[in-house]
Each structure stands twice: as structure tokens, then as C-alpha cells.
A and B are shown apart, each in its own frame.
Chain A
Amino acid sequence: MSVDQATVRRIAHLARIAVSDEEVPHLQQELNAILSFIEELSAVDVEGVEPMTSVAPMKMVWRKDAVTDHAGADVIVANAPVSEDGFFTVPKVVE
């Protein structure tokens, strides 16, 4: 499988990464190089094999239901590029 330029633009948008017209052909070539590398796997027989879900042999730990984390609004927005009255501010989203 290889990607065309329209697909490169679609993936870039899916990943929310701006791409300029000039870089599309270059990106296409790089992505296709990687894709042709991973293409080797299509020859591997995986019939009846379970996909790995947890790499380590352990059971998931559960938390007790307790309020243990009070970061505080000031801490939460401390690193925000833009914030106002404890809210994060973003360009207006049209519903």
C-alpha cells in the first residue's frame, strides 16, 4: 500500500498538522518509504494468533474511590498559553 497526495493531506488534517503544498510530495515520498518497509509484515502468517494486549504478565491495579487529587485551578491553568478567570481560552468553536 502506498499513499497519494490527497491521502497525505487527509492524514495531516486527521493529525491536525498543517502542511504546505511544497512539502506534500516530499512527505508522500517519506511516508511511502516507511510504508514499504512495514509492508514486509504482510507476508507473516498470523493465522489464529491473539494480538498482544498487555506486554507484562500482571493484573491491572484498581484505585479506591476517594478524592485524592486537588490540583487546584491555578495549578491546572498555570502553563496555559491563554486563560481567563480560571478557564482555558481557545478560538471560538462554532457548534
Chain B
Amino acid sequence: MNAPANASKLIKGATGDWEIVVGMEIHAQVSSHSKLFSGASTEFGGDPNSHVSLVDAAMPGMLPVINEECVKQAVRTGIGLKAQINHRSTFDRKNYFYPDLPQGYQISQYKSPIVGEGEVIVDVTASEQIVVGIERLHLEQDAGKSLHDQSPTDSFVDLNRSGVALMEIVSKPDIRSAEEARAYVTKLRTILRYLGTCDGNMEQGSLRADVNVSVRRPGEGLGTRCEIKNVNSIRFIGQAVDVEARRQIGILEDGGKIDQETRLFDPARGETRSMRSKEEAHDYRYFPDPDLLPLEFDQAFVDELARGLPELPDDKKARFMRDYGIASYDAGVLVMERASADFYEAVAKGRDAKAAANWVINELFGRLNKEGLDITSSPVSAAQLGAIVDLISEGVISGKIAKDLFEIVWTEGGDPRALVEARGMKQVTDTGAIEAAVDAIIAANPDKVAQAQAKPTMLGWFVGQVMKETGGKANPQSVNELLKRKLGI
């Protein structure tokens, strides 16, 4: 926590440098069919109060019973975060009154969470990696939803979300910039999606971040932090960190002091502001929920879950670098989504893995991004892209033609090999035909020949002429070799 400040991360203030310190509480909705303590559906949307059981509505005499799958999902996530799994944890009640909190308390794990300390390795840039410590992960209930802007006098309460299982994942204050904050959440989201423990859908609120921001002079102890509640996109997380850090620096440089408080990020105005309604001092009166016994399981239970886990992104990345010989950054990009990694492996298998990485990352991902598509809805399949890579390495088409071919496959579909055949896109490898073209061009341009012999860089002009002559289909390597020999350079 008090490691020496990284100079490149510091913010220049009017009176000197400042270091940003960020810790995050991520609320990740557990992927499950039913709620944490009731048999109501977790399905998103639906008519108001249509996914609500008597338990979720806190009817008199209703009792919570824990959902086994939610426990498993929390343990899986703990394993994915390389964290300590606690074989005994307890549920506590956090007491407060709010219309979307029917019980008058949230069941959470305050004193002893199901998962303890762990870590997440985060690629910030192509060349920079950080490790963010995980403080804990605990299970808790989500609240319902209140609609405040439908009427001047009333709020409307829908309990469909009430009781849905959340994992609150608390990081250590190991993050030092907006960029790191974004990269951390991105990586965490990747891990959760790999594990299948949270769908990571931020638009639907499946992943929300409470961002704790403070600033300090390099080398000093932690400053007073403000908690920015419920930031629901990775971009906004970065913006929130930046604007909040600048706000705090401004106050401190003017000789003021920071009040520890809860704030809200307003993306439209690009500012954070104090949440007045939450200003009232809270006294949550936590105590163990007497309706629930301690949550207990043994190591065999954990081992069984661990055996069932897929290869995780860090392992996959290491394997890609080792087995396919691709660069760390490329491997990192490929493993970001499990589907992308699978796609890449299908393309790379038995082929030039580096070329495959290039095609997947640069051509395919580039094009998907432009169209706003994700890998699962790619119009070009792994088999099709693999065939294109094959055609290049077999020398049937040039890299340039391959791009045209990719475009045709993207828009029209079809078997790349058949397309090359049918549309005469085949590279001319017949040296006789190339030689004829070379000879004709040499014969027609004696002045250029002299120039080229004096200045070998002129070779390019000849290559261009030959390619023109052959409609771009000549094998560039053969053209080069022939020209060099015939021109004597």
C-alpha cells in the first residue's frame, strides 16, 4: 500500500505532484436461476413485482433458505481470484429502512465472508502489468428498485431485484490511476465471465462499482477517501476517478480538507456530487442473522468445484504465449473473452499461429469492433478465416488479395478456397508466366534498368510493374527473385 509512487502515474497539481489511490467494491450479480434466499426467478425485466416470492416481499413469518448454486458460484469466483476460501462463514443483517428493502435489513456477510484475500493480475498497457489485491468477497442480497420520477408525490417500488444474489468483491487500495481502474474492472469482468459466475452485463446492472478515491502526496499515508456509488460502465469508472481526484486535489491545494462522504458520478456533467439523502449518519446495527446457521463446507467441496473450472484467462494467456509463440499483449487481447480465445485456437490449430493471431486481432477484431459486433456473431467463422490463412501460407493468394477475399467472405460468405478458384484470385506461381512479364518490362525500359543497377532500391518500381501486368496475382517472392537475377542486383 505504501510502495514508492510510480512517477509516471502522478498528477501535477499547482503545488506539486499528487498520487491517486483507488480501491473498489464491485457488486457482481451471481449467475443463478433463483434468488439467494428464495425460489423466485432472477430473470431480468418482467412486470413489476412479478419475480417476487413471499420471502422477497418480507411477508410475516417468511424465512430465508440459501441457494446452493450461489454458494458454489462464490467459491468458484474465489478460486478464480486465487483467494482464500473460508470453510465457515456467517450471514449478518445490515439494518436500515428504505422502501426497496422489504425486510428492513439486507442479509450480507459482514464479520466473516465466504472468500478472503486474493489477487488479480492486470495488464494495464502492452508493457505494464500490476497486481491488485483482493480484500474479500461476500454474498449478499440485492435490493428492489424505486422509481422516483414517475409522479410528483409518490415513488413506486418494484421488488423484482429484491433478494437476487450479489457477490461484493472488495479490492485493496492498490489502484493508482483511472487507466488502472478501468483495466482492473475489465480484467475482473473477464475472470467472472470465464468462470460463468456473473454475466458481466453492465447495462443491466449485473456489474456495478463503488469507487473509493483519495489523493495524497507521494510517500505519504492514505488521504481521506470519498466513495462514488454505483458506477455502471468501465468508461465512467475511469472518468469518475479522474474528476474526483481533480476535485480533491483542488480542495487540498486551496488549503481545504476532504470530507469522507458518499458521492454520485454524473456522466452528463462530468462531475461527482454529494449524495445528500445518504448524509444522515447510518448505524446499521449489524448482527448475525438468527434465521440462518453458519455456512459450512469442507475442502472436498472446494476441490470438486475447482476441478470443474475452465482454464482461466491468466493460464490461457501463458499457454498461448508458450504454445503459439505470440506476444504477451496479443495473447492478452485474445484471452479477454473466452469465445475469442476459442475462436483463435480454432484458427491457429495446425497453422501459422502468429499469422493466425494477426488475422484474428487485426482484421477480424478490427472489423467486428467497427460494426459493433462480438465474436459470437462474427460473419466469418474460424474455419473460413483458417482457410484464408491456409491460402496465404500455401502461396495461393498474396496477403493483399487475402484482404479482398476476407471482405468477400465477410459480406457474401462462402468457402474461401472455392471463391479464389471461381473468381480467379489465384496467385500466379507459374514462373514461366512471371518470367515473360519480367522480360517484357526489362526490354521496354532500358533506362530504368540502368538506374536500378546503380540504385537497387529502384527494384520496387519493377516489382510494381510486374504486379500490374499480372493483375496482382503474381507471387511477390518469385517476382523479386527473378528481377534480382535478371537485373544482376
Contacts and interface: CB of A to CB of B under 8 A. Distances in A.
Given A71-B57, A92-B148, 6 more contacts: A64-B68, A67-B33, A67-B41, A88-B157, A90-B146, A93-B99
Nearest to A73: B49
B32 interface: yes
Interface residues of B, number: 50
Interface in B465-488: none
A54 interface: yes
A95 B49 contact: no
A69 interface: yes
B158 A71 contact: no
Given A60-B296, A65-B32, A77-B49, A53 B157 contact: no
Given A53-B90, A54-B293, A84 B156 contact: yes
A86 B65 contact: no
A53 B41 contact: no
Interface string A56-95: 0011111111111111110111000000111111111111
B151 interface: yes
B66 interface: yes
In which size bucket is the chain A interface?
A: 35 or more
Interface of A: 14, 16, 53-54, 58-73, 75-77, 84-95
A68 B54 CA distance: 12
B151 A72 contact: no
Given A67-B34, A91-B154, A73 B39 contact: no
A69 B38 contact: yes
A3 to B, nearest CB: 15
Interface of B: 32-34, 38-41, 47-50, 52-55, 57, 65-71, 90, 97-99, 146-148, 151-159, 275-277, 283, 285, 288, 292-296
A66 B49 contact: no
A87 B147 contact: yes
B39 A87 contact: no
Nearest to B41: A67
B50 A16 contact: no
B285 to A, nearest CB: 8
Nearest to B88: A53
Most chain A CB within a 10 A radius of its CB, from B41, B49, B50: B49
B39 A91 contact: no
Given A72-B50, A90-B157, A66 B294 contact: no
A1 B99 CA distance: 34
B153 A92 contact: yes
5 contacts: A53-B288, A71-B53, A76-B57, A92-B148, A95-B275
Nearest to A52: B288
Nearest to B282: A14
Contacts of A67: 33-34, 39-41
A76 B55 CA distance: 10
A66 B39 contact: yes
A71 B52 contact: yes
